[in-house]
Structure 1
Amino acid sequence: MSLDFLQRYGARRLTVYAPPPPPEQEEEDESQTGESIHLDLEMPEHSWRAIATGNELPYDDELPRRFVDGSYFGENVAWLQDVLGRPVPVRLAEIGGICMCADGRTLRREAAVVERVVASLLDPFPWDEVEAFGSALQQDRLQLLCLQPQRDEPGSSLDFERRELSFDFRRNSEAVRLGVLRAMADLEAAALEHRSDMPTIVDGPLGRLFGATAPEWDVIGVVKRQVGDYLHPHGYVTMLGLQPGDRTPAFEITSRHLKVISWYLKLAGGDGEMPDWGYIRVEVPTESIGRHNMSYINRLSRYLLEIRCRRNRYARGPVSLEPIVRAEESIQALFEPLNPLKQHFWRLVGI
């Protein structure tokens, strides 16, 4: 029976393991590889200063009406060993991508995809057995993700570089976790491409969702957690001095994915707040500015301020947009509770 694959290779339950950080904490990790930054796009680097966004909202054809988000719940639930004794994690997760569309003051679900996945690093095992295991899981609405270990040289983009399993369980677990996040990004991309006839806001950087070809319509990426080292010292001083409603000058980021115009926008904050809290980083494809003009940046920034989350009880409210929060709630309502799902999986595979 194909479902006994894990049992045959001595898999054991894993019930105590630190839960992964939220997906947004890793959203820029890979997109920063090989980037170049052009900081004097809007004004010379030495002249950087805070820019007030003003009160003008986007024109009707610029106004974002679609909002795309992804969500992920999962954890390692088992582990087995290959013939060399290296520990191989097995992760059970639910992932989803959703697009909400604004119809006047109403947000409605336009497209949503949810998948239950079993993810692991299975290259060391006989491929016919792995395929049979995957086929058997599909009968129970579980998708098998066969992922690759991390590269020995972090950030390398060489496709032919050999990847090897590690004896470090945490390193192998990180490879699986990031692989699941990439699968989640694929579902976000599918929700995004459901329609391409109106401006769309995406939760996270755009490089996760596009290849080298920029979208032919306006797509705006909103990054909540600032982990990239994009600015010069005077730029950081400028950013930390922003007041709500201010932004930094725009700069250009060129990566192996695509070329974007980016800037930091202060959504919220004041006395008593952490100095780096309340900022988002906004991305638009460089081609978008060509379709509009630089004043589009202020109009878009003003709109983002207008739709910011104002819920005091939402932990990430100061860096979140209300339509994205609504999208997150909508997609998570389609998920099943993780604990019953784990129990079902363990019974299914006989461990």
Structure 2
Amino acid sequence: MAWLQTVEGFPIPVRLSEIGAVLMCNTNRRLQREWHIVERVVTMVVEPFPWDEVESFAAALQAEGFRLLPCQKPKEGLTYDFQEMRKATQNRSMDEMIRLEKQALVRAGQVPILVDGRLDPRRGGFDEANTPVVGMIKGHHRNYLHDEGWRIYYNLQFGQRTPAFLLPQEHITVVSWYLRLDSTTSAMPDWGIVRLEIPEKFFRLQLQQDSTYIDALSRMVCEYRCKDKSYERASVSLYPIQRAEEILGATMTGGDQIVSRFYNLTQL
């Protein structure tokens, strides 16, 4: 993260990111990379600067293998709060990474698909009425359960799930449930629990709300659970996700190298 300053004194964060997406295919229990993309992007609010300078900066970046990613200023406008400005660039970079993930989803077609993350931000990459897609969420930052639901949640054993529930989101509605992938003794009560979700339209139109599909899907996810305890997020991850991260990591430029190239180019 570097930063510039406008003539009015507003701090403008300049965020360097290497983002990517990968499509893995499981054929006869063998994972293969079908497609991947990696991009180096520089994200910043460009509005305060003369457009000819922005274009020149973008061209210089492109010549060195970087892409300028213009970012909207915060809703309240430019601010002296550096963290608020930094958050705007971070969100823009994340949105761009999700755009790449949508490309991977489109290439997958109508085969069963597991997505690492929520489905709503990746809408448009799949047909919510016809694509057998499931999203897996590792972190739980919102409360979707009532008191009895939480009691069930904390008492889940390995392979058990909570009852499914409808979860309206910003653009689509999903059917969601919690599943315990790891029940290591003496761990915290929420250890090894993930949330899964499928499009409500698919559940209603293609499955006729048959909950046995949810049971079978939960068993499949448990079979794919990550068993490599040296992997930092093994308790809430799957082997295909671990392999996808390894493949993307191998295709990315080393952190120190890309940062050095960026600073040599920009002199920031």
TM-score between both structures, scaled by the size of structure 1:
0.73
Task: Pick one of 33, 37, 56 that aligns with 1:109.
Answer: 33
CA contact (8 A) 1:213 1:258 kept: no
The answer as to 2:248 corresponding to 1:331 is yes
Q: Counterparts of 2:187 and 2:99 in 1: how far apart (Å)?
A: 35
CA contact (8 A) 1:222 1:281 kept: yes
Letter of the structure 2 residue corresponding to residue 248 of structure 1: T
Task: Tell me which of the two structures has the higher relative contact order, counting C-alpha pairs closer than 8 angstroms and 6 or more residues apart.
Answer: 1
- 1:294 corresponds to which residue? 211
The SS at the match of 2:108 is coil
- 2:266 corresponds to which residue? 349
Distance 1:108 1:339, change over 3 A: same
Deviation readout 1:50-103 (Å, 9 max, x if unpaired)? xxxxxxxxxxxxxxxxxxxxxxxxxx1x11111221111111110000000011
Task: Pick one of 71, 81, 89 that aligns with 1:147.
Answer: 71
Q: Counterparts of 1:148 and 1:282 in 2: how far apart (Å)?
A: 32
Letter of the structure 2 residue corresponding to residue 118 of structure 1: V
CA contact (8 A) 1:245 1:302 kept: yes
Task: Pick one of 59, 72, 84 that aligns with 2:8.
Answer: 84
Q: Any gaps of 5 or more consecutive residues in structure 1? A: 1-75, 152-162
Q: Counterparts of 1:318 and 1:198 in 2: how far apart (Å)?
A: 27
- 2:181 corresponds to which residue? 267
How many residues are paired up? 264
Deviation readout 1:99-145 (Å, 9 max, x if unpaired)? 00011121111010100011111111122321221122112111101
The SS at the match of 1:119 is strand
- 1:172 corresponds to which residue? 85
Task: Pick one of 226, 230, 234 that aligns with 2:144.
Answer: 230
The SS at the match of 1:272 is coil
C-alpha displacement of 1:213? 6.5
Q: Counterparts of 1:346 and 1:210 in 2: how far apart (Å)?
A: 36
Letter of the structure 1 residue corresponding to residue 66 of structure 2: L
Q: Counterparts of 1:105 and 1:250 in 2: how far apart (Å)?
A: 28
Q: Any gaps of 5 or more consecutive residues in structure 2? A: none
Q: Counterparts of 1:89 and 1:294 in 2: how far apart (Å)?
A: 48
Q: Counterparts of 2:115 and 2:108 in 1: how far apart (Å)?
A: 13
Q: Counterparts of 1:131 and 1:294 in 2: how far apart (Å)?
A: 54
Q: Counterparts of 1:213 and 1:195 in 2: how far apart (Å)?
A: 11
Distance 1:312 1:140, change over 3 A: same
CA contact (8 A) 2:18 2:40 kept: yes
Q: Counterparts of 2:78 and 2:192 in 1: how far apart (Å)?
A: 39
| Structure 2 counterparts to residues 40-119 of structure 1, below 5 A | 76=1, 78-119=2-43
Distance 1:345 1:339, change over 3 A: same
The SS at the match of 2:157 is coil
C-alpha displacement of 1:315? 1.5
The answer as to 2:104 corresponding to 1:191 is yes
Task: Pick one of 197, 206, 220 that aligns with 1:303.
Answer: 220
C-alpha displacement of 1:215? 5.6
Deviation readout 1:236-292 (Å, 9 max, x if unpaired)? 111011111110000011122211100000111243101111100001001221312
Q: Counterparts of 1:308 and 1:228 in 2: how far apart (Å)?
A: 24
Higher percent of residues as helix: 2
Q: Counterparts of 2:14 and 2:21 in 1: how far apart (Å)?
A: 22
Letter of the structure 1 residue corresponding to residue 166 of structure 2: E
CA contact (8 A) 1:266 1:280 kept: yes
The SS at the match of 1:124 is coil
- 2:122 corresponds to which residue? 209
The answer as to 2:48 corresponding to 1:134 is no
C-alpha displacement of 1:150? 3.2
What's the RMSD between the two structures over aligned residues?
Answer: 1.5
Q: Moved runs in structure 1, 4+ residues, more than 6 A?
A: none
CA contact (8 A) 1:95 1:184 kept: yes
Q: Counterparts of 1:171 and 1:232 in 2: how far apart (Å)?
A: 33
CA contact (8 A) 1:260 1:285 kept: yes
CA contact (8 A) 1:94 1:115 kept: yes
- 1:218 corresponds to which residue? 132
TM-score between both structures, scaled by the size of structure 2:
0.94
